[in-house]
Amino acid sequence: MYSKLRYQYMYLPILYSFRRCPYAIRARMALAYADVSYELREVSLKSKPKEMLDISPKGTTPVMQIFAGQDFIVLEESLDIMHWALDQNDPLNWNNLSDRSVTIAKQLINTNDREFKQSLDHYKYPNRFPENPQEFYRQQAEEFLQVLELQLQQNNFLICDRQNLADIAIFPFVRQFAYVNIDWFNSSPYPKLQQWLQWHETSPMFELVMQKFPVWTPSQTAIAITP
């Protein structure tokens, strides 16, 4: 499902993306899961294209432009892109969860995107936050890792025994955290989380969305990601 890739001009939704951005990674993974075709425009954060800034002045990735007849809509948040992708196609019924599971998923994603992301940024860039040592920020982030480890002791994935949106939404941030000090992470007391991270890192879906492409320019032939 995730192996097909071809280059051509197509009138497709346009995704402005930065390869290593965790928000962009999770958006691309949801699009891959849903078999949604789109035009990928890899951007440089040091020189953002005018075409992206014209539709999304905030200037962060990902941004998706979706065409509807003569009009278009813009999705400026990664979670909105993910939910839109599942609305187009949900082959493994990721949205088929109990009310309790939906509540837990929302709580985990919310904590990831707020408290954990903040601690992660402090841990990854300690020179920007000299008020405390790096270990302090790592310990703050560990509060969330402990929650994830407990979830994975109960299920094969974060919510149940099958992968769903919560796993994809959180995985890129845990991965970013792990590689700040991978030796520490691999020896940390989170064996289930380590296995979960490795499973996602070696998945065909992740390998597909992490392929490298040149930075997009208006004169470049469109890079179409198609199922």
Amino acid at 118: Q
Residue whose entry in the numeric block shows the structure tokens 């208006």 = 218
In this structure, what token pair is assigned to residue 82?
């993910």
The CATH number that applies at residue 137 is 1.20.1050.10
Residue predicted with more confidence, 172 or 72: 172
Domain count across the chain: 2
Residue predicted with more confidence, 191 or 4: 191
pLDDT over 60 (residue 6): no
As a dihedral over the C-alpha atoms of residue 72, residue 75, residue 81, residue 86, rounded to 10 degrees, the angle is -40
Average pLDDT taken over every residue of the chain: 93
Residues, the chain, total?
227
pLDDT over 50 (residue 10): no
> Taking the complete model, does pTM exceed 0.85, yes or no?
yes
Q: How many angstroms separate the CA atoms of 112 and 117, rounded?
A: 6
Q: How many angstroms separate the CA atoms of 18 and 213, rounded?
A: 10
Q: What is the pLDDT of residue 2?
A: 37
The angle formed by the CA atoms of residues 115, 117 and 119, to the nearest 5 degrees, is 70
Residue whose entry in the numeric block shows the structure tokens 């007391």 = 189
One domain, residues 141 and 199: yes
One domain, residues 136 and 215: no
Residue 223: CA count within 13 A, CB half-sphere: 17
Q: Note the pLDDT tens digit of each residue in 171-208.
A: 999 999 999 999 999 999 999 999 999 999 999 999 99
**Which domain range does residue 117 map to?**
99-205
One domain, residues 201 and 215: no
One domain, residues 55 and 108: no
Residue 97: CA count within 13 A, CB half-sphere: 20
